[in-house]
Amino acid sequence: MDQHLYIVTGASRGLGRAMAEQLLRSGHTVLGLSRRAPAALAGLEHWPCDLADPVPVAERLAAWLGAFDASRFASASLINNAAMLTEPAPLADADLNALSQAARVGLEAPLVLTSAFLRATRPWPGLRRVLHISSGLGRRGMASSAPYCAVKAGLDNLARAQVLEEALQPNGAKVCSLAPGVIDTDMQVQLRGADAKAFPDRDAFVQLKSSGKLDSAAAAAAKVTAYLHRADFGGNPVGDVRDP
């Protein structure tokens, strides 16, 4: 029983793609969930899906997991990485459909997928882990970023509650909501290109880029996967890759 299974949402680009690529390179079984398939990622099982409508995806995931021989994998990990950044603006000026989509992808999908994952893998004898990709903005507010701050704060408190629940279960899952640091992704491009009048912190993100303080997706993925594999993973329900 030396195989390991990873399920990664938002696997088509950025941090999610980099994590999937690195896990595949290490010989693991990886399922990616995203609207588009990542290019040139050999060995990945990919399901095209819209995580703004997560219940059908979760039902399919539960059935897929239920079909495995539970003794096949030494561990199974769900990585809730997918997120949607709305156009930076005060909440009163935000597009209502975009707000709904961001909440569904960023918080509803992790709730639903995690429930399905935990239920389907409850009888499995190996290690089970749930990793929510959070953000420093889940732990502090920022003007014109209320939807993102809200969903990331939700992931943090979801992890806190899950840790308490799983401690009561035989072979309970290890859970953590992890801030991955500041990463040079499409989201950063969107923030740097925002209207400064609508997004007062824009210059701070421009400065992060110009001063070389952004991690590449590959560097951030290496830090996240290393944290996931720490022996004390889940000991703290809310973490940061920069934690000692």
We report the CATH number of the domain holding residue 156 as 3.40.50.720
On whether residue 95 sits in a domain, the answer given is yes
Q: Please state, for a pLDDT cut of 90, what percent of the chain lies above it.
A: 91
Backbone angles phi, psi at 241, to 5 degrees: -60, -20
Cα–Cα nearest to 215, from 19, 83, 8: 19
Residue 15 host element (H or E): helix 14-25
Work out the angle at residue 115's Cα, subtended by the Cα atoms of residues 155 and 67, and round it to the nearest 5 degrees.
135
3-state helix, strand, coil split of the chain in percent (to 5) is: 45, 20, 40
Burial class (CB in 10 A: 0-12, 13-18, 19+), 50: middle
pLDDT in tens, 30-53: 999 999 998 889 999 999 999 999
Q: Supply the range of the domain harboring residue 109.
A: 3-181+216-240
Is residue 231, in this structure, part of any structural domain at all?
A: yes
Q: Would you state the pLDDT for residue 147?
A: 96
pLDDT band at 116 (very low <50, low <70, confident <90, very high): very high
pLDDT tens column, 187-202? 889 999 999 888 999 9
Kindly state whether residue 209 falls inside one of the protein's structural domains. Answer: no
- The answer as to whether 50 is a domain residue is yes
Tell me what the pLDDT averaged over the chain comes to.
95
List the end-to-end C-alpha distance of the chain, in Å, as a whole number: 31
Number of domain units in the chain: 1
Residues 6+ apart with CB under 8 A from 229: none
Distance of CA 181 to the CA centre of its chain: 13
Q: How confident is the model at residue 151 (pLDDT cuts 50, 70, 90)?
A: very high
Flag whether 157 is in a domain.
yes
Tell whether 230 is covered by a domain: yes
Tokens of 229: 């594999």
Nearest Cα residue to 105 out of 177, 150, 52: 52
Task: Classify residue 197: in a domain, yes or no.
Answer: no
Q: Examine residue 122 and state whether it is found in any structural domain, yes or no.
A: yes
Work out the percent of the chain whose per-residue pLDDT is above 70. Answer: 100
Cα atoms in the 13 Å half-sphere on the side-chain side of 222: 5
Mean pLDDT of 117-138: 97
For the stretch 171-187, pLDDT in tens is 999 999 999 999 998 88
Contact partners, residue 76, CB within 8 Å, separation at least 6 = 4, 5, 6, 7, 65, 117, 121, 124, 126, 127, 128, 129
